[in-house]
Amino acid sequence: MTSIPPGATIGILGGGQLARMSALAARRLGYNVHVFEHPAADAPAAPVCDRAVRASFDDADALVDFARGVAVVTLEFENIPVSALQALEAHAPVRPHWSVLQTCQHREREKLWLQKHGYPHADFRVVSTPEELRSAVAALGTPCVLKTAEFGYDGKGQRKLDSTDEVALHQAWQAWSLAGTRVASRGVVEAWVDFAAELSVICARNPRGEIVASPVFENMHTRHILDFSIAPARFPPQVAARATDLARSITERLAVEGLLAVEMFLTHAGEIIVNELAPRPHNSGHLTLDAAVTSQFEQHVRAVCAQPLGQPAMLCAAVMVNLLGDLWPKAGALPPDWSAVLREPAAKLHLYGKAAARPGRKMGHCTVLDAKVETALARARGIKAQLQAQADCA
């Protein structure tokens, strides 16, 4: 397997913040970067890339033209039509392969894959009618959660179900199947996991089959969106070892070329349950930019360019806080005052350059570094509280 050397050009599908941070890592290593993004997208990656193509993922000519200009194609999000990846692979290696995307972009296929290969997952049923929903809820019990099969992320397209009452379930089905941009009313009902904590591991795998796992990240969500990520995770060593083994094993079995983020729940009984797979850089790994020997973005570049993988060890403890659009003042007002972050000497501010702030939209993040994880967490909470107080007063 020949590696793609610095000086070559990497093509990234999708132009959001994950592409931006991968592109910055690629540039630092001496690669050029082209990005392919949907014309409607607000484009944080474009300003740091050598070329930005704005076209639809259905535009076969634009895809072929893009592939001809790059040495390898990779991606920053999984909701890309598999047909686009198939069109590209005639002209350039595509990493990860479309078959990985096909499994990971569709919750039903992903759950069936986990089940088939014996990985621990929440009990689930696939439903496409209100009657199927009723029998799924009867089988799984309440609470449970109805999730869209496709295009769901950050809790979008999800509905918690608390009642087995027929009328309530019918109403829930109607509201769920009419909401958002759902293509088809097909979903997965999952048993509720009364978890003690959420965690993730991001594995990098290059085409030679070498795998390097990140540290384990401890994740705290608010309203289904990641709020804080903490490393080192505050779990017993056997929990971290089990999470890492699971993530490595899944990465190997899927033969991922690139990154695979494995999101997991830790139950009160100490079991680990796999929640979701994402074959790309992941929000929980952002703290590696400032706190690890090799960031997830550099690892992404190394993996897809068939280079040796870097050392993932943490240089110190770190806590990442997501900066969501909720922290921005209402339209017309000044942007947030970042001095709450900047006056903390060991806090690193990352803003993605997005034009429009909306509630729940990821506009940036900050990472607080310290020798002790509890100190980093206390400072991160303090920064978040100050920014929130500012937004509340604006």
Output the smallest distance, CB 326 to ligand AMP, in A: 17
Q: What's the CA gap between 148 and 19, in Å, rounded?
A: 25
| DSSP β-ladder status, 158-161 and 72-75 | unpaired
Report if residue 12 touches ligand AMP, rule: CB under 6 A.
no
Output the smallest distance, CB 238 to ligand AMP, in A: 23
Return the number of the residue (117 or 224) whose C-beta is nearest ligand AMP.
224
Q: Looking at 10, 43, 145, 233, which residue binds ligand AMP (CB under 6 A)?
A: 145
Report if residue 127 touches ligand AMP, rule: CB under 6 A.
no
Total of residues contacting ligand AMP (CB under 6 A): 14
Report if residue 276 touches ligand AMP, rule: CB under 6 A.
yes
Other Cβ atoms less than 10 A from the Cβ of 3: the count is 14
Q: Which one of 31-39, 188-196, 348-356, 378-386 is the stretch in contact with ligand AMP (CB under 6 A)?
A: 188-196
Q: Which residues contact 222 (CB under 8 A, 6 or more apart)?
A: none
Residue sitting closest to ligand AMP (CB): 193
Report if residue 338 touches ligand AMP, rule: CB under 6 A.
no
Output the smallest distance, CB 190 to ligand AMP, in A: 4
Return the number of the residue (153 or 338) whose C-beta is nearest ligand AMP.
153
In one letter, which amino acid is 363?
M
Is residue 68 packed enough to be buried (19+ CB in 10 Å), middle (13-18) or exposed (0-12)? exposed
Q: What's the CA gap between 279 and 175, in Å, rounded?
A: 30
Report if residue 137 touches ligand AMP, rule: CB under 6 A.
no
Distance of CA 125 to the CA centre of its chain: 24
Q: Which one of 63-71, 126-134, 187-195, 242-250 is the stretch in contact with ligand AMP (CB under 6 A)?
A: 187-195
Distance of CA 20 to the CA centre of its chain: 14
Output the smallest distance, CB 265 to ligand AMP, in A: 7
Largest CA distance in the chain: 62
Output the smallest distance, CB 115 to ligand AMP, in A: 15
Site track 222-251 with ligand AMP (rule: CB under 6 A), x = hit: --x---------------------------
Which of the 8 DSSP states describes residue 29? T
List the interface residues with ligand AMP, window 248-267 (CB under 6 A): 263
Report if residue 192 touches ligand AMP, rule: CB under 6 A.
yes
Q: What's the CA gap between 304 and 95, in Å, rounded?
A: 6
**Cα separation values, 189 from 124, 176, 186, 253, Å:** 5, 12, 10, 25
Q: Looking at 122, 201, 202, 366, which residue binds ligand AMP (CB under 6 A)?
A: 122
Structure tokens at 105: 């972009």
Other Cβ atoms less than 10 A from the Cβ of 195: the count is 17
- Is the distance from CB of 4 to CB of 305 less than 8 angstroms? yes
Q: Which one of 60-68, 77-85, 189-197, 249-257 is the stretch in contact with ligand AMP (CB under 6 A)?
A: 189-197
Distance of CA 175 to the CA centre of its chain: 26
Own/partner pairs, 51-55, CB within 8 angstroms, 24+ separation: 52/15
Return the number of the residue (206 or 283) whose C-beta is nearest ligand AMP.
283
SS3 41: coil
Q: What's the CA gap between 184 and 294, in Å, rounded?
A: 41
Q: Which one of 68-76, 185-193, 247-255, 366-374 is the stretch in contact with ligand AMP (CB under 6 A)?
A: 185-193
Report if residue 190 touches ligand AMP, rule: CB under 6 A.
yes
Output the smallest distance, CB 107 to ligand AMP, in A: 8
Q: Which residues bind ligand AMP (CB under 6 A)?
A: 122, 145, 152-153, 155, 190, 192-193, 198, 221, 224, 263, 275-276
